Structure 1
Amino acid sequence: MKIVIAGGTGLIGSKVAARLLQGGIQPVIASRATGVNTFTGEGLERALEGADVVIDVTNSSYTDYAGAQEFFATSTLNLLSYGAAAGVSHHVALSVVGTDRLAASEGGYFTAKLEQERLIRASGHPFSIVHATQFFEFLLSIAEAATRDGVVRVAHAQVQPMAADDVAEAVLRVATADPTRAITEFAGPERFRLDSVVRTRLWVQNDARQVIADPLATYFGTDLAEDELLPGPEAVLMPTRFDDWIRHAA
C-alpha cells in the first residue's frame, strides 16, 4: 500500500509517518521540505504516482477567510485532481470538531475549512474526513492569543481536548480502513473548562500569568458559545488523559 501524507513534516503528519514506519509501511512525505507543494502543484504528480491513499493534514498559515479559503480550496482541488489521475482510492482529510457550527457563527477560517470539506464530499472520490478536538499541544498558543496586558482571558467555554499522538492514531485508523464517505469525530476522554486546562498548562511551564474565564473573551478573535467546541455523542474517545500527557510536557 502506498500512502502519501500531504503536510507530512508537520505535527500530526510526522506522527502519522512514524506510526506507518513502525508498521512496516514507508510513506511518501509530501511537503515543501521534500519538494512537493500542494498549493502550486509542484511535485504532486510524481508524489502521487501509484498512491492508494492520500492523507491531507496540511494547514493554512492564514486565519482570515480570504487567505485560508485560497489555500484550502487550491490545495484540496490539486490533491483531488492529481489524486484522481493517479488512481488514488481513498482521500483522507483532517479537520476540526464543530467546523459547521463555527462557520455559521464565526465565519473566517472555519468557513474556509467547511468549504474544503464540501469540495471533498462533492468530488465523487472515496473519502473520509476526520474531525478532531483541540490538541493539548496547542494550549500554549491559545493562552498567547488570549493574553491582554499580562492576563489570559479565555472564552467561557467547555473543551474536550486530545493529545496529538491520539490525533495521529485516529487519522491512521481511518486511513487504513475503507472510506467512510462521512465525518468521524474524535475527542479526548475528559471534558474541561477552557480556563482550567489552560491554567494547568501554564502552571507546568512555571508561567505565573493569571487565567480568567471571561464571557466576553474571544477564541482567536471570534466569539464562542459554551459548547461550540464539544464533540457530539457519537464521537470516538481516544485514551490519553490530560494528567498523563502533562507529566511529560516540556
Structure 2
Amino acid sequence: MSAWEDWKQPNEANKAFAVLKELHINSCPRLTGDLPINLPSLTLLVIRDCKKLISSLPTTSALRVFNIDNCGNLKFPSRVYQFNQTLTSLYLHNSFDSLELLSLDIFPNLKSLDVSGCKNLKAITISGKMRLRPPILDSLCSLSISNCPKLVSFPTEGFFAPKLLFLSIDNCEELKSLPPKMDHHMPSLIELQLWRCPQIQPIETWPTDLRSVSIRNCGQLVARQLEWKQSNPIDFTDLSASQAFTVKSEDCFSTITSSTLVSDRKALSSSSQK
C-alpha cells in the first residue's frame, strides 16, 4: 500500500474496531495520520517503515506488545499510563527521533526492552517519584540498547532487575558507565554483551552468575580494568589490551580463571583465522 496517505475512518469507527486485538501497518511510506484512536481490546501494535507517519498512536488499556520500526516522525506517547501496566514487550527501532529520555519504571511489567537507532536518546531514567530509591523491575528479563549515539547514562542509583538474564549494549559511543551495583541489582544475569562502547569505564563488581561475556571495542573498559585493584570474579591480569575478547563457559562464571580466559581467547583467535 505504497500510495496510502490517510486512514479515512467511518462515523462508527469506534464500534468497528472495538474488538480488534492486533494491528499491523507495514511499508506505507506516504501514510501520515488519522489512525484509529480508541482500540480498547488491542494487545499488539506493530508499525514499520512509515517514515511520514505523525498521527497519534491508538490508546488502549490492554496493550502487551508495542513494536515500532523506522518511524522517525512519530512522537513517543505522552499518555503511556493508558497501557503501561499491561505492556510486556517494547521494541523501538529507528523511531521517535524526538525522544530524549526513556523512563524504565513506568512499565512495571515489562519483560523485554529493545531500543535501537533512537538517535537523540540521551538517558535511560526513572520517574521523579522513584528517585529516592532504585526502582524494582520485577519482570524484566532482556534489555538491549544499540546504535544510540547520544546515550550518556543510566540512572545513577541503578535499578533492581532480579530476573534480568540478558543485557546487551552496542555502539553507544557516549555511554560512560553501566548501571551501578550490578552484582546485587542483577543477580540472575547470565549473558552480557558490550560492543563498540569506547568510553565505558571499569565494572567494579561483576554479577557472579554470568555464563557468557562478550566485550568488543570497549577501549576504556579493557585498558582500565587491567589496572583495577579491587578483587573481581574475573581476573584481567593476563589479558592484553586488545580491546576485543570473548568469554563463554558452561560453568559458573566465578570459577573462570585468567588462564582459562587466555586459552579461550587463543582458541577463538585461531578459529577466526581458519
> For this structure pair, what is the TM-score category when the shorter chain's length is used for normalisation?
under 0.3
TM-score of the pair, normalised by structure 2 = 0.25
* Bigger helix share: 1
Structure with the bigger RCO (C-alpha within 8 Å, sep 6+) is: 1
TM-score of the pair, normalised by structure 1 = 0.27
